[in-house]
Amino acid sequence: MSNDVRVDLVYDLTCPNVEEARAAIRTALTAVGLPPIWQEWLRVDPDTPAALRQLGSPSVLVNGRDVGGDEGHLAHADAHSCRLYVDESGCLAGAPTVQLILDVINRRDEEHRVHPA
């Protein structure tokens, strides 16, 4: 596992699922032997990149790839809204599961093995 994994968390202050998202990020990074460090972005902060301000809360990205988006594309919200994820059993959840985050980390690592930089 390479150390060049960047994780971003985009959230609203009133989001009821942000702590669950933080816990999932922490667990996923620890599971792959990386330090539990990530960048957090408050959606309403003008310093947050414009593309990230369009995401629902909470959104988790691994190296720019949305863990809950279609093929990793950013899942833009039409308005300030809560984000929903589909877990491994097909149920809706308010935060990404550890497995969703691990899947994107592992997919990224596999792509680097197949197509080294």
Question: Which residue type sits at 115?
Answer: H
3-state secondary structure of 18: helix
Does some domain include residue 32?
yes
Does some domain include residue 1?
no
Write out the chain's pLDDT in tens, 117 residues.
Answer: 456 899 999 999 999 999 999 999 999 999 999 999 999 999 999 999 999 998 999 999 999 999 987 655 566 655 567 888 888 888 899 999 999 999 999 886 555 544 455
Domain span at residue 82 reads 7-114
Does some domain include residue 75?
yes
Q: What is the pTM of this model?
A: 0.84
Question: DSSP of 19-73, one letter per residue?
Answer: HHHHHHHHHHHHHTT--S--EEEETT-TTS-HHHHTB-BSEEEETTEETTSGGG-
Does some domain include residue 57?
yes
Does some domain include residue 27?
yes
Does some domain include residue 49?
yes
Does some domain include residue 31?
yes
Q: Specify the number of domains making up the chain.
A: 1
Does some domain include residue 38?
yes
